[in-house]
């Protein structure tokens, strides 16, 4: 209306399967290369409104924080979404379900002493307005066709530096003890949330599809093809959310 294009949405992913799921939903893609070598793809999201910037961070919170900062300074987005897969920490989540992180725990902070490990987590909550929009999108039930639409859960996410594939390890016990409300575990959202916080509280939302149950059977779930399904579900919901952002 005033001739100034609206700021884009930045979508970050850690794995190629996640990147492919988001990329498949972008039209008219073009490449923009950062001076440090990062290749961003900029395209038109579903619905045709505005633009979305896509990048691959690789695994881990440190890498995701660096790429998030790079994307923020380059594109000045109106919001940043991390889209990908995660392991379930509770049995009421099934492969293919979507989790919107109402809070992201950076759970590796703490103090280890003779009396045991004392958690000192960092945590970032989803911005209230984005939480309300995301819940509305989930209620509308139009973001995927009926036969493919999984449940959407609004619960905390734990983000550390470890791929968890057991319910009996010390890490699994630590999560149950200190972060029992966390529904899913992954390795990047804490870095992205921190980058958003340090950039004038840029809105950040983690959208994760459940690809396994973190219960010792990750290989079986991956072999059954749940990673691309979970990534596609997360990407579809993320763009439905992005279409409603102010």
Kind and range of the H or E element at 223? helix 218-223
Diameter of the chain by CA atoms? 63
Cα separation, 182 vs 104, in Å, equals 8
Asked which of 15-19, 34-38, 114-118, 195-199 is least confident by mean pLDDT, the reply is: 114-118
Q: Which of 73, 63, 83 is nearest to 7 (CA)?
A: 73
Residues 193-211, mean pLDDT to the nearest whole number: 97
Residue given tokens 């596609």 in the structure block:
232
**CA torsion, points 166, 236, 128, 104, in degrees to nearest 10?**
20
Burial of 144 (0-12, 13-18, 19+ CB in 10 A): middle
Write the DSSP string, 73-85.
HHH--SEEEEEEE
Q: Which residues have a Cβ under 8 Å from the Cβ of 38 and sit 6 or more positions away?
A: 55, 67, 70
Beta-strand relationship, 52-56 and 9-13: parallel
Burial of 112 (0-12, 13-18, 19+ CB in 10 A): exposed
Write the DSSP string, 76-135.
--SEEEEEEEEEESSTT--TT-EEEEEEEEETT-EEEETTEEEE--EEEEPPHHHHHHHH
How many CB atoms within 10 Å of residue 63? 17
Cα separation, 213 vs 224, in Å, equals 13
Q: Which of 51, 43, 54 is nearest to 13 (CA)?
A: 54
pLDDT band per the 50, 70, 90 thresholds, residue 187:
very high
pTM for the whole structure: 0.94
pLDDT of the residue at 117: 80
pLDDT band per the 50, 70, 90 thresholds, residue 226:
very high
The per-residue pLDDT for range 7-66, each reduced to its tens digit, is 999 999 999 999 999 999 999 999 999 999 999 999 999 987 899 999 999 999 999 999
């Amino acid at each position: 209306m005033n001739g100034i294009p609206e700021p884009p949405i930045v979508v970050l992913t850690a794995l190629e399967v996640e990147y492919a799921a988001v990329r498949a939903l972008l039209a008219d893609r073009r490449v923009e290369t950062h001076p440090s070598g990062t290749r961003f793809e900029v395209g038109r999201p579903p619905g045709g409104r505005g633009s979305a910037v896509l990048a691959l961070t690789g695994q881990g919170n440190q890498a995701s924080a660096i790429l998030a900062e790079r994307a923020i300074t380059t594109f000045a987005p109106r919001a940043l979404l991390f889209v990908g897969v995660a392991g379930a920490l509770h049995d009421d989540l099934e492969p293919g379900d979507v989790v919107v992180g109402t809070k992201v725990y950076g759970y590796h902070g703490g103090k280890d002493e003779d009396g045991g490990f004392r958690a000192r987590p960092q945590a970032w909550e989803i911005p209230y307005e984005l939480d309300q929009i995301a819940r509305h999108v989930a209620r509308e039930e139009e973001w995927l066709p009926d036969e493919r639409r999984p449940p959407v859960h609004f619960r905390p996410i734990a983000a550390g530096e470890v791929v968890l594939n057991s319910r009996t390890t010390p890490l699994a016990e630590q999560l149950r003890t200190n972060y029992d409300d966390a529904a899913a575990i992954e390795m990047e959202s804490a870095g992205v949330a921190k980058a958003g916080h340090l950039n004038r509280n840029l809105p950040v939302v983690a959208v994760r599809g459940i690809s396994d149950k973190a219960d010792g059977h990750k290989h079986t779930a991956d072999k059954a093809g749940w990673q691309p399904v979970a990534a596609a579900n997360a990407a579809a919901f993320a763009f439905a959310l992005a279409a409603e952002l102010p």
